Amino acid sequence: MSEQDCRGQVNACRIRVARLDTNGVPLPGADNLYVSDALVSLNFTAVYTDGDEVDEKNACGANKVYFKADDTFKRGDVEITLVTPDPFLSEMLSGGDVLTAGARPKGYAAPPLGPVASNPISIELWAIRVDDGDQDANYPYAHWVYPKIKNLRIGDHSHEEGAKKPVFSGQAYENINWFDGPVGDWPAESDRIFQWLPSQSMPTPSCAYQVLSAS
């Protein structure tokens, strides 16, 4: 094993969000891709179901039958916090709407009350790979892929002194149909709930939707 394979990782400098169709394939469209540097954090929590356990004693109190079924890894719970109330990224992460009013800058409207739409997306992150206190010279980034996140919800917020940091939560799953990603730059398997690879570059953020082209 090469020492190069075992670099540390810090921070998360980019987030790229892509809309998916109902089968999990990146969905071509003019407003279906977004790259941002507004991420504060993405927290992933593995969710398991404990296997059933059988534990029986005889009439004398001795344990005679014991069995435990395997636990099941069923999904991940994801919480995303942004440093700015970016209307485009908020819309992609919640199913709300980008608000327009003439020549004013864009705003944001929450999703309507009622059932939460599935609105599947994929999320990619770029972390920094470190080597003895410096950024790795050969592969400076770690490209993380969460190929399907759905059932996204807007989180609690307050209006007070300090920055308003929108919070969103959803559920992460495996996706066999993400393939090489929305822009064709993922070079390995992508069918697990998350995966990462060292990378030599990361995308440029833009306060505007980007086109997701058909691959």
Q: Indicate which CATH number applies to the domain containing 199.
A: 2.30.110
Q: Which residue has the higher pLDDT, 19 or 95?
A: 19
Sequence-distant (6+) residues with CB within 8 A of 60 are: none
Q: How many domains does the chain have?
A: 1
Instruction: Tell me the pLDDT tens digit for each residue of 57-71.
Output: 999 999 999 999 999
In a domain, 182, yes or no: yes
Sequence-distant (6+) residues with CB within 8 A of 1 are: none
| Other Cβ atoms within 10 Å of 202 Cβ, number | 20
Q: What is the per-residue pLDDT for 117?
A: 87
| Predicted confidence (pLDDT) at residue 209 exceeds the cutoff of 70 | yes
Instruction: Tell me the pLDDT tens digit for each residue of 2-26.
Output: 778 999 999 999 999 999 999 999 9
pLDDT band at 100 (very low <50, low <70, confident <90, very high): very high
In a domain, 53, yes or no: no
In a domain, 75, yes or no: yes
Find the domain containing 42 and state its range.
11-47+67-212
| Predicted confidence (pLDDT) at residue 214 exceeds the cutoff of 90 | no
In a domain, 198, yes or no: yes
In a domain, 61, yes or no: no
pLDDT band at 1 (very low <50, low <70, confident <90, very high): very low
What does pLDDT average to over the chain?
95
What is the rounded average pLDDT of the residues 142-167?
94
In a domain, 62, yes or no: no
What is the rounded average pLDDT of the residues 63-85?
95
In a domain, 174, yes or no: yes
| 3-class DSSP state of 92 | helix
In a domain, 184, yes or no: yes
DSSP 133: T
Do 20 and 145 touch, CB atoms closer than 8 A? no
Q: What CA–CA distance (Å, rounded) separates 147 from 123?
A: 6
